[in-house]
Chain A
């Protein structure tokens, strides 16, 4: 029997990055096949290609043995592929039935809705796959797990035999995960093929038959779930050859610059996203935070920068309790911030460069003079940044939008560094920029570290993390689960902590009772 899906040498390039580099994938009929990899490894791009949302630049796709190319998701659906998105695409105010048929409504003559047939078909699909949901309930009245079932039914209703589930467990509580897995097994028993994207190793091992691991846009390999341990998978995800730490002299001092004590952040459902985290960054030190994205890093950053209030715990900077301080107060007190998404939190895209350089420092010279913006001073300072940080731009009056990503990032790094911060929060400071610019940014951070800067570095790039950090802590499920020495780190130890394959043994885990 032909493979359900076969991808051969799929390559997809974006400006400056190769998201998929000759990726190969073979999914057999009727299996649950997991695709594992860190965020940014290229899983989502691959699935978008498979589902017709983006075309591949190179490579061959086969579905049930036949060569295919999809120009849109509609064509993928026609070929029997369905996708359950991580973020549900449901209309809250409509009933389950209405949501399921939306876009593929059975009609009577004259375009009237054939409710009877819709209902019958829905019941048929639900029964066939053992998914029960009351068709008349409004989506807004459903639990998250049930909403996900509706998404799955929606896909099956359109005749999909191959289902792609994009991190389906990310939004579920443990009971709901069990329920989902039960449903998936029934789907499989009924002949459906399931592609399951995830990076939670225990879950992947439990549900899937085979697992393909992707790292940095390349396929690392495909293994049988029965033959591997979580540790093996973690090692495959992280990579076997880790970069060696730079042999720069340690500049770490005894003075604590940033001190986070027992910090807890809660999400809208009162579940902890950051769970009793304590960390100290000393002057002249780079503390790296490793972890797969979505394990509380963003929330921790919010609490330190001051854009969100913690539920418990305190943040101290330079010996001062800043837990209740405004963002402005913290910034004026010497907190530099390189946000993880420069477009979202870093730049005013439609404003000229000099106004972007002032952002975050608009209250003090050289950007301000009393209650006024010092336009001349701002322009001169921006020129200085432009020269010192090699920002390629015709002048400082062009809008930030006109610059390439790397130059935008250099502008942000330059604006933070030139303000002479005492603490720098750097989230993925070199994401999406070219190698040359990356080296520049690293050198800037090293130079500032020698001058006593305390840096808290969040990164998914292990080269960066190991190369720059004096210490590395690993964040998993909102907790710091390990403190590692970059000189002694192994792929297995790092990967194990990052993916939860190795359980934490640091004091941070002593507060187990707090989460439930």
Chain B
């Protein structure tokens, strides 16, 4: 019993410790910069209790979560897919263009858009995968470069051809609007199960449901399937996995493609429920955010869910801080950074303690068992 409490305590200690530490650092930064730490935190707290903030948090957490899962697929086998950024932007662009071209009945239309995004993301990620397997190119380098090629090259070259130049098009130059059959319905009905409060124009993105599916599939795939086992084994010990029959090249390619396919979904809230087109103000940076989320969430679906909710909430507060003017919104970025750094260190410390515990228990047993004991289960 005592042992169990200790283990649960250890599991929670790292993220909670990191959070408290981040609050302290942020307080110091706030005070030094002349703002009131108490006021700022109170603003964030009060805001956090609003239903709108909750919905906003979920909306912001959704793409972060998907990006986090995409990163985790790579991380699980020691593969650093820094290219989620390029993969999702390119995928969203392609999905927006194709989605506007076709006309299909509701669910089918949305389905096609989603599949296009996943295929484009997966194919784009296959490039660094192939380069690594056949040419030994480090995926960190190739994915970073492919980010530039995707955004600065492919999109920049094709964008002018697909801008909606028709009368009445939005001022912010973008692709043709996807017809309404390709919009994903909001999930406000889900929220209404829990509350009777009226949402002031807030809508929970339907992509939230897709994110849940992605999370569940990821969890089952990684922990229960043979392929997931091969993937994790490769990540833990490449040589042992290889000697154990894991085809390493094929796993690299598979992990990159899967990671890219999931990355392709990161831009879906914009395409399916917000703007319904790709425009010049298309959201950037979620790919890099996902790397941090995966790190904070320890590459597990549940951890990533919590991490993305936390970061989603902080992002959401950032907007409020700006409006109320109580502090610079960059305090949120500082908090996120401190949480990440502290968590990484804290996880390492906790891991060491846990390992020591385990070794102690195992060796206590070896010492206690008489050398003749053969079968004692």
> With A360-B244, A373-B226 as given contacts, are A399 and B366 in contact (CB-CB < 8 Å)?
no
CB of B330 closer than 8 Å to a CB of A: no
| A349/B225 in contact, CB under 8 A | no
Instruction: Of the listed stretches B99-107, B185-193, B228-236, name the one at the interface; the rest are far from the partner chain.
Output: B228-236
Chain A contact surface mostly:
mixed
- Given A345-B243, A347-B240, A392-B369: A398 touches B225 (CB 8 Å cut-off): no
Contact of B358 among A355, A371, A390, A398 (CB under 8 A): A398
Q: Closest CB of chain B to A411's CB: distance in Å? A: 12
Question: In the assembly, what is the distance between CA of A506 and CA of B112, in Å?
Answer: 69
Interface residues of B in 350-367 (CB under 8 A from A): 355, 358-359, 361-363, 365-366
User: Known contacts A331-B244, A373-B226: does B365 contact A399 (CB below 8 Å)?
Assistant: no
Whether a CB of chain B sits under 8 angstroms from the CB of A110 is no
Chain A residue numbers with a CB within 8 Å of B245 are 326-332, 360, 362-363
With known contacts A328-B247, A362-B244, A401-B355, A349–B362 Cβ distance under 8 A: no
Interface of B, helix, strand, loop or mixed by DSSP: helix
What is the 8 Å Cβ interface bit string for chain A, positions 331-367, against chain B (1 contact, 0 not)?
1100001010000111111110001001110110000
> What's the count of A-B pairs with C-beta under 8 Å?
114
Which residues of chain A from 381 to 402 have a CB within 8 Å of any chain B CB? 383, 386-388, 390, 392-394, 398-399, 401-402
Smallest CB separation, B209 vs chain A (Å): 25
Q: Shortest beta-carbon distance, B375 to chain A, in Å?
A: 4
Give min CB distance, B142 to chain A, whole Å. 23
Is A174 interfacial (CB 8 A cutoff)? no
B232 surroundings in chain A (CB, below 8 A): 348, 351
Interface size class of A (residues with CB under 8 A): 35 or more
Complex Cα distance, B373 from A393, in Å, reads 12
Q: Are A372 and B226 in contact (CB under 8 A)?
A: yes
On chain B, the residues within 8 Å of A103 by CB distance are none
How far is B236's CA from A348's CA once the two chains are assembled, in angstroms?
Answer: 6
B331 within 8 A of A: no
Is A404 part of the contact surface with B, judged by Cβ < 8 Å? yes
Instruction: Say yes or no: B233 contacts A359, CB within 8 Å.
Output: yes
On chain B, the residues within 8 Å of A407 by CB distance are 362, 366
> Is the C-beta of B242 less than 8 angstroms from some C-beta in chain A?
yes
B241 at the interface (CB under 8 A from A): yes
Whether, in the assembled complex, B25 has its beta carbon less than 8 Å from a beta carbon of chain A, the answer is no
A250 touches B (CB below 8 Å) = no
Interface residue? A375 (CB, 8 A)? yes
Given A383-B377, A390-B374, decide whether A373 and B240 contact each other with a Cβ distance below 8 A: no
Q: Is B246 an interface residue (CB 8 A)?
A: yes
From B225, B243, B373, give the contact of A339 (CB < 8 A).
B243
Q: What's the least CB distance linking A141 to chain B, in Å? A: 23
- A401 & B225 in contact (Cβ 8 Å cutoff): no
Q: Nearest B residue to A342 by beta-carbon distance? A: B240
**CB atoms of A373 and B359 under 8 A apart:** no
Contact of B243 among A307, A351, A398 (CB under 8 A): A307
Nearest neighbor of B376 in chain A, beta-carbon distance = A387
Check if B230 sits within 8 Å of A372, measured CB to CB.
no
B225 near A394 with CB under 8 A, answer no
Q: Answer whether residue A368 sits at the interface, using C-beta atoms and an 8 A cutoff.
A: yes
Asked if B224 is at the interface of the complex by the 8 Å CB criterion, the answer is yes
Contact A392 B366 (CB under 8 A): yes
A386 and B239 contacting across the interface, CB-CB below 8 Å = no
A305 within 8 A of B: yes
Bound CA span A399–B355, Å: 8
Given contacts A373-B224, A373-B229, A387-B377, contact A392 B362 (CB under 8 A): yes
In the complex, besides A327-B244, A359-B244, 14 extra interface pairs with C-beta distance below 8 angstroms are A307-B243, A327-B247, A351-B236, A355-B229, A360-B243, A362-B230, A362-B233, A371-B227, A373-B228, A387-B376, A390-B374, A392-B362, A401-B358, A402-B358
CB<8 Å pairs between A and B, sample of 6: A351-B233, A362-B230, A371-B226, A373-B228, A387-B375, A392-B365
Closest 10 CB pairs of A and B: A328-B245, A402-B358, A360-B244, A359-B244, A402-B362, A387-B375, A348-B236, A331-B245, A392-B366, A327-B245
